[in-house]
Amino acid sequence: MRYFHFKFVLFSIFFLTMLSACTNPDAPASNAPTPPAPAAFSSGEKLFNSNCAGCHGMGAKGSDRGPTFISKIYEPSHHGDGAFHMAVQKGVRAHHWNFGNMPKISGVSKEEVDEIIGYIRWIQRENGIS
């Protein structure tokens, strides 16, 4: 009986997710599953997960501590790669959201930030943001 309930709950979640994805094309990106990153971005993905995902969320979907990057606000023409390097080196004073300030992130080299940016840009392209 319990097992049945568990399967039923899982199925319901799956069904509701699919339903909301189908009926609402503007549904927030957080409803979409994160596809695995291609090999070229897997190192950027690992670096992102250990240094940024705590606030910007797994798959850059955002969390209660920081914004998602799957947003027009962070497309390359609004926040170019330089903005990412600056954010990591100097931190960010809260201005777009109410999450508070982003602290500077130490222990991540410029080359590693480039890899993180590559991964974020890939996710953005996957979501039609470029």
Q: How far apart are CA 105 and CA 7, in angstroms?
A: 42
| Nearest to ligand HEC of 58, 83 (CB atom) | 83
Contacts (CB under 6 A) with ligand HEC, residues 13-42: none
72 binds ligand HEC (CB under 6 A): no
70 binds ligand HEC (CB under 6 A): no
CB atoms inside a 10 Å sphere around CB 37: 19
51 binds ligand HEC (CB under 6 A): yes
CB atoms inside a 10 Å sphere around CB 8: 10
56 binds ligand HEC (CB under 6 A): yes
Point out which span in 6-14, 19-27, 28-36, 48-56 binds ligand HEC (CB under 6 A).
Answer: 48-56
Q: How far is CA 122 from CA 27, 39, 78, 110, 116, in A?
A: 20, 12, 16, 18, 10
